Each structure stands twice: as structure tokens, then as C-alpha cells.
Structure 1
């Protein structure tokens, strides 16, 4: 996270001291770096420069309009999983013609909106979805471009909740059924086969599973082309991991070498769907210490951010680095850093060595740019955090902190 350096003992986002943001906006607050996001996006595009490709940012990682606008300005496309995400992309100035629509539960209304907008590709995940997409296409007088998402039954070697390429997963069409579904599509008047898709999971840190899945999918793509299916796009998915602790995932260049070696003979335009790789280490979550608490078994530090603000530790047993915004000297003790939510799982950092902080001190959870704010909730009737985007020495609030009265907006007593 080179764009979040310590300078004279104070943690910065690019050229901005983070305590200044915390004091002005309050906590908890997500802070994102324009330079980090831009650097990560360009690393992917440069790595894949030797071949035709489209980088479609995975909107579910972080759907803030300012983030989407920035990526659209860099020439990026988008990977969406709902009609709401499509609306966000379009509102931010994103191009529907550079957008792919994934997900196992698309509704007819979502399909209609996406097809009317001129979507690049529907990633279809079941036979019944293909039939519904055909009906929508015929109703609108269009052929909906689609790619089947195939399940290669490859173990991604990631957390069980974010592995999507096994035969037990809800995602994708069984590999052995794909050929028959493409043959069936030739008889349908509301769809047209435009590509093939595969995604085996998130936070991928090893090259072998990627290589195995893509080699298998590239072979299927070649066979489909040989059978005169007019495919143009090979969507290789996303999921490239980042370093949270001691992981050593492939770099963008190493990832490109794996993908290009597996797909080099297909002649396809590659569609890439990075999310975490672009956003994860481009953001932090600021929090303030509320209390210290000792029990016979443990020392706790209670902060104002909770699992409703950052659910990854509770949901995925995820590790986020934790650093003070102002460096201190002293002897570290082992503590559990916990939030105020009324759940035993509201532990944001377990058994961490910290110089015991005092109430009011500020900390940052690192690597929080992806699947942080996008998964935040109002559990315990807690307003969601503010979001800030830094650009050099300037910063601005790109989402205001929710107010208490926002909690019951739309309700009737």
C-alpha cells in the first residue's frame, strides 16, 4: 500500500494526513486513493497489451459513483451482478457497451433494462436463464448477446465462501452440459452466442488453479468455434488476490502470462473482471478508540467501527492490517480489537500486538477498499460510514455519512 505512507510519524493517503480527514469528517470513514486505483488499473491494461482485451471492473467490490466514474475515465468497462449496479454504472458515465452482466438470479426486468441499454454480454448461468433471456430478447425484438458461464470443477484454493468453480457451487453451467446448451441456442431467436465465460473464485493467490481452469475453458472455446458458433469473447473472470498479510499472489504481469499462455490460440477478445485487485489496497477504514477493557482472559480495545462497517473478518475470517494514524513508542501487548455491535463475531482484529491505545486515538484498517463499504449495513441501527476520495493533496467526501433519520427513510410507523 505504497500510497498510504507514514510521513514524520503520521499516516497519509497520498499527500493528505489521515488524522485531518478523521477530524473533519469523523469516524468510521473509508478513504480511497486515486493514485493507487489508477496504478492498479494501468498495471492490468499494460500487462494484457499484447492481445485484444477489455478490463471490466467488478462493481460489487466497491460501487461508489466516484470510483466508477474514475474507472470509466480510464477506459474501463464493468462487470455487474444486478440491475442496481447497471443503474450505478450508467449514472456514473460508464458505457453499457463495455458492461457484462453476471449472476445466477437475473430477473426479466433486469434483463430488459440491460438489453435496452446495449449491454455487451450476458453471462448466463443456467439452462432456464437462457430460455428466459431468449423470451426477453424476442419480446424486445433483439438478440441478446450471451456467454455461458461454465463451471470447470477446479479448486481455487481460496476461502470456501468465495470459491465458485467447484461442482458443488451454485455458479455456472456444468462443463459437460455447455456444448448442448450452445447447440440449443442456435434454435432460439432472442439470443446469440457471443462468448464463453469462467470464474473460479475470489482472492486467488496461486497460479495453478487459474492455469488449469483456463486451459480447460480455452479448449472448449476452440471446440465451439470449430462447430461454427460465432464467439468473439472469452471472459476469464476475475478474482486475482492481493496481499493482506503474507500472501504472495501473482502480479498483474505474472497473471497475464498465465492467461495468455492458456488462451493464446483462441483468437478471442479477452474480458477481465478484476475487483479486489484494483480496489482492495486502494482503501483504508479509519476508526477511533472508544474504550479499553480487561477480563481475566483477554485485553480488548473497543473501537467505533463494527462488523456492520467491515464484515469481512466476521464473514470470511479475514485479516486486515491495523496501524495507528500517529506512530507511538512503547511495549506492545496482545489485544482483540472489537466493535460496538451486539454480536460475539464483531471482532475486527484478533490477537494483535498493539501499544495499548488510549480513548480517542485513531487507527486505520488496511486493505479495506474492496468488499468494505459495498457490504456495509445498518445492523444495530447504525448509520453507514462516510467515504472520501484523495487525489494528491486534495480530498473530497464522495459519500456523506448517513444520518440517524436516514435509518427509517421509507418506513411507516
Structure 2
């Protein structure tokens, strides 16, 4: 569920009119609901009540400090994939003991940062990474607690570009190489294997592929223990999908938790989860303003002031986002099929094709729903457009949690060589 609803004919986030935010901040602008973030974090936490479980929110889904601090107050840890995300998590008050560091390409400096911070765990993804982490940790006189991310060759995810657990994907160690890598870890200084990690994809809409992957990993845990490795943690990643449009039927966190309880029964491990989209996705919207309509052969374009640089998902994954006018319309309102596009000079700058919407006039505002995850974090300054602003709502209050930079600030980051001055 979420906390975006029409009230007195205008779309609100909790108790704040989205028009009021757009009037002050301008468009495009992301708006996040604190109540939705808290509710989703609590629903997941309650589903795993009674288990030894670390809920490490996936910072890559939405790394805004206001969002992170809201979730830190709910007891969430953090799953990070870069040194920058680690620093964000720490700035938000998330303790190192609740941070796991994932990702296929950690630098020596990032490894050093994680070791100096004393994070809970590194999720390593290759034999080469293990060797480098061992070297970095040994030079610092520290021991890195690690889990090897294994690739169980199970396909899942709402799009091929977000499936990460199939043979041939860049993620994880091949299944058949896992035992040998754990044996090598036992020989090395500075590293200690404490867990097994798996993450098979994102926007997963069924429990079956996750269960298949987790059952394979449990067999690996038992086999590693028989070989003398003290495996006490099982990192099951994230991946739970969210409803992006009416009719989407996805398993609730309770069903996911029950499956994990069954699969891990008697194993005696700390379960680590890395939910991101399922917490933040429906907690945010992107507000844009209609600029023009443009009739064309066999279609009508609706051109808005948000572009693919602000919301990349439709261009990147052909993702669906419901689009709602901020002004409520009766169900009987006449509709037109629009191609909703932005101002970017790319043909992929398209949010929807043949989308039925009420007649939209220039100057009207629209909300792109379910944009709280992989929205602002994927934004860029392509076409020299300022990074999109972000606003956090809490009840009847709101605050700008990332302001839009000015053009002068954007240009000030660059310098001109002496020979051009």
C-alpha cells in the first residue's frame, strides 16, 4: 500500500497536497512518504519476528539521507555496493554492525573503508576479490568477515536486465566453484568465511524461483560445514517485487518469510535480507508538468518536463509506471491514448506508449507512481539538465531533502585549461 490519495479533488501525499510541493519546489520533483517507508519496513520486520534476522535495506534503491534516516529509526541496517553508499549509510546513523558490503567491483580503497568502519560482512563475488581483500585486511591487521555470493543458476526477475542468478550473469561465483573457493579462504590470512550469499534478481513476482535457489544454498551450507567451515550466516538478498499497476498480484512478505522459515528450519543461521524496492518503490512519486500535446500520424504525443534523465526505468527496462493527473477526474471522463515523452534528445525518452489518460492540458501536473525505488538514484544531468529535486513528507509536514542545483553550480564543477583561457 501507499499514502498517495485524492483529497478534495487533488492528489496528496499523506496530508500534504502535491500541488503545494510543486508550487514551492517546481517540477520535476520526487516526493516520498515517510508513512509508507515506515509501514513497509515494519511489515517486513514483523514477518520475520522471532528469527535471527538482519534487515539490511538496499541503499541502491533509494539512497537519500532523509529516506535512510527514516529507515534507520525503524531498525534497518544497510546493504551497500560502493564506498559512497557506505558513507551515506553511516551519515544516516546506521551502525557498522548492521552494514553488509556487496557488489562485484570493490576497489582496495572501498575494502579499506569497510574494514576500518568494522562492517558486519563483505559479500565477495570472485576468487580474485577474495585474494585482494585478504591482502588489504592483512596490511591493516584486520580480519574481514565474508560470505561468498554463489550463482545458483536460477533465473528470476521482472526483466532480463534485472535477473542476476542465472549462469552467464556477471554476479556471483559459479556454483561448481564454490567449494574450492571456501577451501582457499581457509588458507588465507585476513579473511574469515562466516556465511553464504545469494541474490537472484529484482522485481520477482513468485516465491518458487527464490525457494529453489535458497534450497540449493542450504545444501551448500551443510556441505561446507561438513568440510569444517563455520558457516553461521545466510544472506538471501532482496528481489521481492511490488505492484506497479492495478491487477499486479505479488506474494506478500509474510509468504516470503514463511518460505524462508521452512527452508532454513534447523539450520541455526543468522538470516540477512536486503530489501530495497519492496520498501521504497511505492513510497515515492515523480511529479512532472505537461508542456505540450503534439498530434502525429497514428499517435498523440504528450510532452512533459521530466525526462529519462530524471526517471530512467522506462527507457532502461521498459518499466511501467501508472500516471495520474494531480486533479482528480470522474471515471466517466473521456480519455485519449497518449505517448508520454520527455524533452531529452533521445528516442528512448518515452514513459508510456498509447497510454489512456484524460485530456491533459498544458500546465497540468502529473504524478508518475511507484517511483520511489531506482528513480532519483539513476538520475543524471544529461542534456545539462539539473538533477531532480527530492522532498520527504511526514504527515502534514514536508522538507526538501535534495535541492535542485543551479546552472551556475553545475558549471562551477568544471574548469577550463590554461591554454583555452
Residues 106-136 of structure 1 show CA distances to partners (whole Å, capped at 9, x for unaligned) of 0111000110000110000000000000001
* Alignment of structure 1 residues 188-207 onto 2, 5 Å: 188-207=188-207
Greater shift in the superposed pair: 218-227 or 250-259: 218-227
* Alignment of structure 1 residues 205-220 onto 2, 5 Å: 205-220=205-220
Alignment counterpart, residue 384 of structure 2, candidates 363, 381, 384: 381
Greater shift in the superposed pair: 277-286 or 403-412: 403-412
Aligned residues: 413
1:242 counterpart residue number: 242
* SS in structure 2 at match of 1:137: helix
Residues 346-374 of structure 1 show CA distances to partners (whole Å, capped at 9, x for unaligned) of 11122111112111101100000000000
1:77 counterpart residue number: 77
1:144 counterpart residue number: 144
Q: Distance in 1 between matches of 2:214 and 2:50?
A: 18
Whether contact under 8 Å (1:157, 1:209) holds in the other structure is: no
Residues 50-79 of structure 1 show CA distances to partners (whole Å, capped at 9, x for unaligned) of 310000000000110111111111111000
Give the alignment's TM-score, normalised by structure 1: 0.98
Q: Which runs of 5+ in 2 are unaligned?
A: 417-421
Displacement, 1:306?
A: 0.5
Alignment counterpart, residue 367 of structure 2, candidates 364, 369, 375: 364
Q: Distance in 2 between matches of 1:247 and 1:100?
A: 31
Residues 261-317 of structure 1 show CA distances to partners (whole Å, capped at 9, x for unaligned) of 111221100000000000000000000011111012210111000000000000000
Q: Distance in 2 between matches of 1:54 and 1:334?
A: 46
2:304 counterpart residue number: 303
Alignment counterpart, residue 353 of structure 1, candidates 345, 352, 356: 356
Whether contact under 8 Å (1:288, 1:304) holds in the other structure is: yes
Displacement, 1:410?
A: 2.3
Residues 228-286 of structure 1 show CA distances to partners (whole Å, capped at 9, x for unaligned) of 21222100000100000232121010111122211122110000000000000000000
Q: Distance in 1 between matches of 2:412 and 2:100?
A: 32
1:27 counterpart residue number: 27
Whether contact under 8 Å (1:210, 1:258) holds in the other structure is: no
Q: Distance in 2 between matches of 1:402 and 1:249?
A: 38
Give the alignment's TM-score, normalised by structure 2: 0.96
Displacement, 1:408?
A: 2.3
* Alignment of structure 1 residues 107-126 onto 2, 5 Å: 107-126=107-126
1:65 counterpart residue number: 65
Q: Distance in 2 between matches of 1:42 and 1:409?
A: 42
Greater shift in the superposed pair: 224-233 or 276-285: 224-233
Once superposed, which parts of structure 1, at least 4 consecutive aligned residues long, lie more than 3 Å away? none
Whether contact under 8 Å (2:80, 2:101) holds in the other structure is: yes
2:329 counterpart residue number: 328
Q: Distance in 2 between matches of 1:124 and 1:156?
A: 21
Whether contact under 8 Å (2:125, 2:149) holds in the other structure is: yes
Q: Which runs of 5+ in 1 are unaligned?
A: none
